[in-house]
Amino acid sequence: MPRVSFTNNLQRHLDCPATTVSGDCVRTILDATFAENPKLRSYLLDDQGCLRKHVNIFVNGAAVRDRDRLTDPVAPDDEIFVMQALSGG
């Protein structure tokens, strides 16, 4: 099953340990992750269900291309990494 990991910065705001979930695209992986951790949804997705502008998701090191529908494919042995961009000065 694909493994989903989160940056330490995101983990400071919300308990979100790495997890393994089943799914064949980023959307189904996220939905399975949200089923285990519902509070995570509002940190990652906006009201329309699209990836928030300050969040990036990588599948095996490559940034997802479909930030709206999250249809990028995911294979059973893939690594998904979720990071929240930092800003400020």
Please say if the pLDDT value at position 61 is more than 70: yes
Q: How confident is the model at residue 88 (pLDDT cuts 50, 70, 90)?
A: low
Rounded Cα distance, 52 and 45, in Å: 5
Q: Provide the pLDDT confidence category of residue 12 given band limits of 50, 70 and 90.
A: confident
pLDDT at site 85: 77
Rounded Cα–Cα distance for residues 89 and 78 (Å): 35
Query: Above 90 in pLDDT, residue 39?
Result: yes
Q: Which DSSP helix (H) or strand (E) runs through 84? A: strand 79-84
Q: Which pLDDT value is given to residue 87?
A: 65
Cβ neighbours of residue 25 under 8 Å, at least 6 residues apart? 70, 71, 72, 73, 74
Kindly list the structural domains of the chain, giving each domain's residue range(s) and its CATH number in brackets, ordered by start: 3-84 (3.10.20.30)
